[in-house]
Each structure stands twice: as C-alpha cells, then as structure tokens.
C-alpha cells in the first residue's frame, strides 16, 4: 500500500490546484544531455603475416635437391617445376630448350607418361657458390611413345649429368642436362647397338664442396691440356697427362676402361674417328681433386667409330668431362653426353618429328664444312 500511495500523491496535488483556479506548474522536464559522446575506438591494426626466415643459398640448394628427388620418385611434375624460377630453363643436350615453370611442368608430365615406375637418385654433387654439378641415375620402364617408338615396357636406365645455376632466391635459373637418350633407345631395341647395363640407383649422394684453393684451378689447366692433346693428335702429350692406372667411363666405352694401354687405344680410336676435332670450352668448375669441363666438340666423322664405318658427316656434340686429378695427372675420367645427338647426326637413328612432342624434338645436324 505504501508503494501505491507514493504513486498517487502527484495526482491529488494537481487536482487540488485546479480546483482553486490556479494553473498547475508545468511538469518537470528531463534534463537535456549536453556532453559529447566519446569517439569510437580506433580500428584494430591488421596483423602482419609473419615472414619465414630467408634460407641461405646453401640451404636453398639442399632443399632444391631434396624437393627435386622427391618429385621425381613421387612422379609429381608440379612439385618438380616448383624448384625452378618462374622463367627458369632446362636445356637438354641434343634437344630443345624448355622455359618457364608451366612448360617444365608440362614437359615432366609428358616424361612421366613415357617412363613409368621411375626411380631416381643423385650420385655425386659438386657445389661452388651458385653453381652445382650433379651426377645422377634414373631407372624406369619405357611405357609411352619415345621418338616415335611406342612403349615396350622394357626396363631402361642410365647415368646422367646436370649443370645447375641458382638465382639469388635459391631457385634454379638454368639447368643444362645431359640425359643419355641414345642409351635408352638401344635398351628399348630401337637401334642395333649393344645397350649399356641399367645402373643401380644410389641411396645418398656424395657432396663435394669447393675449397677455393689455388691448386684447384691448376686441375682445370690439366683438363684443358688433355683436350688440347686430342685436338693436336699428339699421343705423347696425352699419355704424359694420364696416370698409369687411369680409369675412363663414357663416350666410346660401354664398360670402364682401365690402364694406360686402354688409354692409348682410346686416343687412337678418337683421333682416327675425328681427326679434325675441336673443343670449345663453355663452362668449367674446379672443385677439390676434380676438374669439370663442359664443351662443344665439332668434328667430321672420317674414320671408323667402333663398328660404325666413316660417314664423312659433320657433328656438333655437347659433352661434359669429369676428371679426377692426382699429382697433376688424370686418375679417373667420366664423359657424359646425350649419345642420341651423335646417332642422329651420323644417320644411325631418325627422329620422326611428326610423332614427337615439342619437348623431345631434336635439333638439326650441323651443315657440312666447306
């Protein structure tokens, strides 16, 4: 009841004042707020993404190797292409150049369609600043069309070599690849030559880092002197540059040739087959006991090359020679090439251009010398 009373008091007072003839006072007005409302809070700052720490060039090179190996063994062309710069290139000796990540991805897609059950491993890796020289082994099956030859499901495999230049961000700017497709063509029965044995895939690479010591550069001089002796056809000069127990793989050898007698036979076979050979050095690396030279050899096939009779045809061949130098002499030598380049230029194998993807197209043979 107390609450109801308090509520009715204003009503009774107003009625009394009206009865006496007095106007009631105007009802009280609520006070008008005069204060300015506080400004809205400032918008919260957008959080900046945390950038991953930048890899050193050496770490980026290692990561690139790891990613490339995983992509090849995982048959993942997109992952493989991610190792390359957006405008990166792959130049395969004897074939066309592939440029840009999209083209590299497409090239590898075609490659995996041609070769199934691929197994890949790095044998040796030489590192010097932003340059890397890589010996690798690839095995698989010939499942798709290769240079007009339909898939045979024949086992294939060979050793190859790549010379890689890295951009400052650690991506591959250029790879010059020496994959021995001539060996593959013999392994699938496309030529009558005796095929090389399929090599085992290495589990882990041997990493070889340059020291930058003066004696390393002297090894390059030895390597260049070997090429000069082949050009001049001076056997005595050549034999002075090779160790008594020299071993040589590649070029004319299906198996490792050992000893000075084998070295002498190689010298005679080479200078008979290509008496006018000239070597243009395109690139070189000195690294510990190794000298690595990338050259273009121009010559005329004027003499027998094993079972191949002289064709009188000019050749222009891309080669990589890896020489291990001991006491100023060549103790071990490996020569890498795409032997398909020589086969096509000598007329031993014809690439059917109409049936070959652009990434496999072979260049034209050099014009005859006048």
The tens digit of pLDDT for each residue in 119-169 reads 999 999 999 999 999 999 999 999 999 988 999 999 999 999 999 999 998
Q: CATH topology for 55-209? A: Nuclear Transport Factor 2; Chain: A, (3.10.450)
Q: pLDDT (tens digit, 9 = 90+) per residue, 28-69?
A: 454 444 455 666 666 656 666 666 668 899 999 999 999 999
**b/e per residue 296-321 (b: at least 16 CB within 10 A):** ebbbbbebebeebeeeebbbbbbbbb
Give 3-state DSSP helix, strand, coil % of the chain, rounded to 5: 30, 35, 35
CA angle 341, 355, 338 (to 5 degrees): 15
3-state SS record for 302-326: CCCECCECCCCCEEEEEEEEEEEEE
d(CA 83, CA 175): 11
Domain with CATH 3.10.450.50 in the chain: 55-209, 211-355
**CB–CB of 299/313 below 8 Å?**
no
Asked if the model's pLDDT at residue 16 lies above 50, the reply is no
- Residue-level pLDDT at 232: 98
Residue 258, number of CB atoms within 10 A of its CB: 12
d(CA 118, CA 124): 19
Q: pLDDT (tens digit, 9 = 90+) per residue, 286-331?
A: 999 999 999 999 999 999 988 889 999 999 999 999 999 999 999 9
- Residue-level pLDDT at 250: 79
pLDDT tier at 192 (50, 70, 90 boundaries)?
Answer: confident
Q: What percent of the chain has pLDDT over 90?
A: 69
Distance of CA 100 to the CA centre of its chain: 12
**CB–CB of 151/144 below 8 Å?**
yes
Tokens representing 124 are 């040796």
**CB–CB of 140/152 below 8 Å?**
no
Q: What is the pTM of this model?
A: 0.81
- Residue-level pLDDT at 89: 97
Q: pLDDT (tens digit, 9 = 90+) per residue, 202-253?
A: 999 999 999 988 889 999 999 999 999 999 999 999 999 999 999 999 766 6
CA angle 351, 355, 361 (to 5 degrees): 50
Tokens representing 118 are 């691929």
The tokens 């590192």 sit on which residue? Answer: 127
d(CA 288, CA 200): 26
**CATH assignment, 211-355:** 3.10.450.50
User: In 3D, which of 309, 230, 218 has the Cα closest to residue 268?
Assistant: 230
- Residue-level pLDDT at 49: 65
Q: Please state the φ and ψ torsions of residue 250, each to the nearest 5 degrees.
A: 100, 175
CA angle 141, 143, 145 (to 5 degrees): 125
Written as one string, the DSSP assignment of 39-102 is PPPPPPPPPPPPPPPPPPHHHHHHHHHHHHHHHHHTT-HHHHHTTEEEEEEEEETTS-EEESHH
d(CA 71, CA 148): 26
Q: Give the strand pairing for 84-92 and 172-178.
A: parallel
Which residues have a Cβ under 8 Å from the Cβ of 125 and sit 6 or more positions away?
65, 132, 133, 134, 135, 205, 206, 207, 208
């Amino acid at each position: 009841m107390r609450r109801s009373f308090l509520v009715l008091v204003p009503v009774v007072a107003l009625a009394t004042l009206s009865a006496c003839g007095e106007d009631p006072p105007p009802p009280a007005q609520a006070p008008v707020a005069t204060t300015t409302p506080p400004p809205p809070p400032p918008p919260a700052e957008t959080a900046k993404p945390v950038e991953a720490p930048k890899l050193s060039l050496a770490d980026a090179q290692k990561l690139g190797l790891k990613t490339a190996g995983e992509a090849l063994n995982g048959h993942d062309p997109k992952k493989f292409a991610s190792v390359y710069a957006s405008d990166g290139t792959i130049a395969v000796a004897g074939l066309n150049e592939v440029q840009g990540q999209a083209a590299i991805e497409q090239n590898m897609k075609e490659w995996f369609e041609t070769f199934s059950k691929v197994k890949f491993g790095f044998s040796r890796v030489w590192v010097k600043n932003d340059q890397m020289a890589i010996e690798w082994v690839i095995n698989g099956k010939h499942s798709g069309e290769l240079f007009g030859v339909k898939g045979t499901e024949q086992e294939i495999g060979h050793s190859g070599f790549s010379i890689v230049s890295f951009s400052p961000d650690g991506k591959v700017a250029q790879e010059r690849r020496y994959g021995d497709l001539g060996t593959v063509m013999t392994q699938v029965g496309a030529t009558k030559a005796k095929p090389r044995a399929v090599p085992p895939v290495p589990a882990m690479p041997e990493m070889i880092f340059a020291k930058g010591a003066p004696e390393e550069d002297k090894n390059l001089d030895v390597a260049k002197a070997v090429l000069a002796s082949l050009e001049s056809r001076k056997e005595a000069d050549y034999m002075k540059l090779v160790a008594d127990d020299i071993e040589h793989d590649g070029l004319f050898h299906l198996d490792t040739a050992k000893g000075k007698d084998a070295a002498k036979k190689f010298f005679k076979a080479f200078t008979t087959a290509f008496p006018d050979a000239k070597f243009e050095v395109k690139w070189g690396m000195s690294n510990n006991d190794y000298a690595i030279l990338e050259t273009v050899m121009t010559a005329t096939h004027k003499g027998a090359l094993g079972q191949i009779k002289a064709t009188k045809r000019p050749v222009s061949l891309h080669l990589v020679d890896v020489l291990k130098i001991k006491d100023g002499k060549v103790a071990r030598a490996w020569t890498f090439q795409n032997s398909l380049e020589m086969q096509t230029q000598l007329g031993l194998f014809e690439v059917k251009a109409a049936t070959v993807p652009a990434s496999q197209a072979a260049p034209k043979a050099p014009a005859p010398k006048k």
